[in-house]
Chains A and B, each alone.
Chain A
């Protein structure tokens, strides 16, 4: 047990603010950073500072980036006619890892959750409508989460986009690929049945 002075206590407090890190894990991480080569700790601190100072929302889509435009928006091979609307930047990462979507994104910055004080004015919905209005967009894919709040956010966005002439679609839902019917719950089966398509 290291003598817990002021700076050590501060580090532990900061670490426990991270998701999934309790007091025990915080202590383990702190001791790891202090053992061996202290250069590792300095490198981590530098990386954290750089991220905090340089990462900002993309001018176009609000994905996180260290430039004006994120790599997706800056890529001329991406299809500008398709915009996939997601709640958070991490959702962009999920789609990019899957590697099948070749259009652009729009990050809302959350979901419409009035019970938690999250109103439409706190989302980037106005900018989405602006982007569509500028022209060139054929389809807006609403990829908010498959919950009531996610559906509500999609409904709100669809209402806003009504009259712009753009095709608005919602991500399909239902059975998880590679799973079995046995493991699917009632809602998955109901969704899959409702969203069935021609073979």
Chain B
């Protein structure tokens, strides 16, 4: 058994016994690691943190040679993200990042850029300055009982009409996740025949998760999971994925469209719809 050191983000935790936890960590150096933290639930254990979800920590662990759980021997908290405890949008987005790292990567398959993107996404959330007062019901509306509905407990988004801007950082993270897993969508030419997909004057193209990108008007109709993508949406996606190109400063006109497309693409790659997707999108 070799002792290894790593910088790790806690992406899942399960209580194993009265005092121990099994923790899934996404490490910068080794990728996903599942390890037993003996005494990890005791307040005065030698672990500096109780392996709370979405905490970054420096860990030392003993790597088992033939499968089985690795054993954590040391852990020290490096960073926490306070906004997750003050803003539900940020919390759900953080859980979603954890889900894609825990369920969408393989054990011991390192992706340092993905680790960095996860931490940058979590760091990017800020604590709302003040909580906006709840919107009052319009005159003559049936008296809305006090309190929010379970479906829309977000301050300032009671109707669920506008998608929260936290989604843009989620979109950016998903694109890194896709790229690291080798599923970056092809956006320049048709994935079927290599033809140009956006002739001058065209307002939309076709996109297919199973084809792995955009499709021309000849190849597209034969693909079952095709969907329309507006020229503006395609331009925004190209901006977000192409290195060097600046993404558009405001994604709001295409936010809904990009969310639908990425939700479908991520579900295709993951093999199922992510649990947190509905939460992240406020649905």
Residues of chain A touching chain B, judged by Cβ–Cβ distance below 8 Å, are 19-20, 114-115, 117, 120-121, 125-126, 129, 132-133, 147-149, 151-152, 155-156, 159-165, 176, 179, 183, 185-187
Dominant secondary structure of chain B at its interface with chain A: loop
Say whether, besides A114-B279, A183-B44, A163 and B147 are in contact (CB < 8 Å): yes
Query: B interface vs A, CB < 8 Å?
Result: 12, 17-18, 43-44, 48-50, 52-55, 76-77, 80, 84-88, 91-92, 95, 98-99, 102, 131, 134, 145-148, 150, 153-155, 275-276, 279
CB distance from B82 to the nearest CB of A (A): 10
Contact call B88/A115, Cβ cutoff below 8 A: no
Give Cα A164–Cα B145 distance, bound, in whole angstroms: 9
The smallest C-beta distance from A172 to any residue of chain B, in angstroms, reads 15
B111 nearest CB across to chain A (Å)? 20
CB distance from A112 to the nearest CB of B (A): 9
Tell me whether B88 and A148 are in contact (CB under 8 A): no
Cβ A187 vs Cβ B84 within 8 A: no
By a CB distance below 8 angstroms, the chain B residues around A186 are 48-49, 76-77
Which residue of A125, A155, A176 contacts B86 across the interface (Cβ within 8 Å)?
A155
User: How many angstroms from the CA of A186 to the CA of B279 in the assembled complex?
Assistant: 32
Could you tell me if A115 and B275 are in contact, using CB atoms closer than 8 angstroms? yes
Q: List 14 A-B contacts (CB under 8 A).
A: A115-B102, A117-B275, A120-B150, A126-B150, A147-B50, A148-B54, A151-B85, A155-B86, A155-B87, A155-B91, A160-B150, A160-B153, A186-B49, A187-B80
Output the nearest chain A residue to B46 by Cβ-Cβ distance. Answer: A185
Complex Cα distance, B49 from A147, in Å, reads 11
CA distance A152 to B93 in the complex (A): 12
Distance in angstroms between the alpha carbons of A148 and B145 in the assembled complex: 29
Whether A114 contacts B275 by the Cβ 8 Å rule is yes
Asked whether A155 lies within 8 Å of B88 as measured between CB atoms, the reply is yes
User: In the bound complex, what is the Cα–Cα distance between A187 and B224 (angstroms)?
Assistant: 52
Q: Which of B18, B49, B146 contacts A165 (CB 8 A)?
A: B146
**Of B43, B49, B76, B85, which contacts A152 at CB under 8 A?**
B85
Assembled-state Cα–Cα distance A19/B41 (Å):
15
B75 to chain A, nearest CB (A): 10
Chain A residues lying within 8 Å of B53, measured Cβ to Cβ, are: 115, 147-149
For residue A8, give the distance in angstroms from its CB to the closest CB of chain B: 26
